[in-house]
Structure 1
């Protein structure tokens, strides 16, 4: 069943490191069949946090593959760039 990695990301640190992360993350997705459905863009808040930050939605063939991407050496090599420069909420959701 298709799975989605959904992230809510607020930049808090070095913009150069975040730009480096964004430039490299796409290549980590491709071997796992991952693709962006949403990467930033306008957000209209209907309920909750009035400043949700950047919203990202990634699609993967299934939850196992999404976890494999997240845990992969390729992604883990660049993840610290995001972790130290953002406040992030990330989750995997299975669905249609």
Structure 2
């Protein structure tokens, strides 16, 4: 069953954040991740204010999605995001059918 990363990110230093966005996609690719949404137009219609960036990444399984997040490759990329962005990342299993 597929799984998805759903991330909401507010960036405080776009120049430094590039260090993250240049490194993280290699980790996603290594675990079969595919971008479904990546920073396009968005509008909060309920809940908190619209984040600067919303991202949805599809994986073939929940286990792959978790393994990607916990991998050394992704965590190294993620270290470049620390202090320059506030991120909320949720991994959710899809539905059958």
Partner residue of 2:5? 5
Q: How many residues align?
A: 95
Partner residue of 1:74? 73
Any gaps of 5 or more consecutive residues in structure 2? none
**Secondary structure in 1 matching 2:81:** helix
Partner residue of 1:93? 92
1:60-93 Cα distance to aligned partner (Å, 9 max, x none) = 0111101111111111111111232111111101
Q: d(CA) in 1 for partners of 2:82 and 2:7?
A: 12
When the two structures are superposed, what TM-score results if normalisation uses the length of structure 2? 0.89
Partner residue of 2:82? 83
Alignment of 1:37-76 (within 5 A): 37-76=36-75
When the two structures are superposed, what TM-score results if normalisation uses the length of structure 1? 0.90
Any gaps of 5 or more consecutive residues in structure 1? none
Q: Is the 8 A contact 2:43 2:50 kept in 1?
A: no
Task: Please identify which structure carries the higher helix content.
Answer: 1
Q: CA deviation at 1:35?
A: 1.1
1:37-59 Cα distance to aligned partner (Å, 9 max, x none) = 11001112211223322100011
RMSD between superposed Cα atoms in Å: 1.2
Q: d(CA) in 1 for partners of 2:50 and 2:68?
A: 28
